[in-house]
Amino acid sequence: EIVLTQSPGTLSLSPGERATLSCRASQSVGGNYLAWYQQKPGQAPRLLIYDASNRAAGIPARFGGSGSGTDFTLTISRLEPEDFAVYYCHQCATSPLTFGGGTKVEMK
Amino acid sequence: QITLKESGPTLVKPTQTLTLTCTFSGFSLSTSDVGVAWIRQPPGKALEWLALIYWNDDNQYSPSLRNRLTITKDTSKNQVVLTMTNMDPVDTGTYYCAHTGGWTPDYWGQGSLVTVSS
């Protein structure tokens, strides 16, 4: 099973700042089939990034994904008020599919 | 557009079997490379992948829950059903179904909160 470790657990930032979230896999994620989701309280997760670096439909350009193999990064270039949420990475390359533990981006 | 909605009991007793139905529209589970996944989330905790069924009836399960889960599809009704046996209070949480086109869950249902309590 591929274990995904997200860091930091919590990121305290102000609107306009840059957010950098990390997702490290215990073994290589084949095909870089790594996705990022945003989840707000009481809502279902929303797909932001798929295949490590492709933005999903309708996702603003301030969200960017990078990385390959075992190290992946989600970057939010300039935080907007609506970006404060929990973010999860998810590998869909190898069964069983797995999620990371999440990073909470909170307002400083 | 693609939509999914989970339905089932909100409260189950320990040792009972949970049956959840995902009813979807906007896609067909007979189309190549399409699948429907189930994911759950205990209150205040992270997402946990449970099971996945593909257009060709291939299915996958979480190893830790494999002996308790069954996923089936009814293509004519546009439904996917997940059953989980021997429910325990630790199984309390929100259960989501999601469309997968290719590999990634992209469209999610709103979720169904299930509480396990006597």
Which positions in chain A touch B96 (Cβ < 8 Å)?
44-45
A25 close contact with B: CB closer than 8 A: no
Gap between the Cα atoms of A104 and A10, Å rounded: 5
Q: How confident is the model at residue A23 (pLDDT cuts 50, 70, 90)?
A: very high
Report the residue from A97, A101, A102 with minimal CB separation from B49: A97
pLDDT at A47: 97
Task: Choose among B46, B96, B100: nearest Cβ to A102.
Answer: B46
Substitution target in B6, B62, B104, B107 with the highest count of A β-carbons within 10 Å is B104
Write down the pLDDT at residue A22.
98
Residues (pLDDT < 70) of chain B are none
Across the interface, which of A56, A96, A99 has its CB nearest the CB of B106?
Answer: A56
- Of chain A, the percentage scoring pLDDT greater than 70 comes to 100
Nearest chain B residue (CA) to A94: B103
The two tokens of residue B88 are 């325990």
**Cα separations in angstroms, B98 against A15, B23, B82, B84, B116:** 31, 10, 12, 17, 23
Return the pLDDT at B103: 78
The angle formed by the CA atoms of residues A22, A26 and A32, to the nearest 5 degrees, is 65
Report d(CA A59, CA A66) in Å as an integer. Answer: 15
On chain B, the residues whose CB falls within 8 A of the CB of A31 are: 103
Whether the link from the prior residue into A8 is cis, omega within 30° of 0, is yes
Digit-coded pLDDT (tens) for A56-107: 999 999 999 999 999 999 999 999 999 999 999 999 999 899 999 999 999 9
What's the pLDDT at B102? 73
Residue B38, pLDDT score: 98
From chain A, the residues in CB contact with B33 under 8 A are none
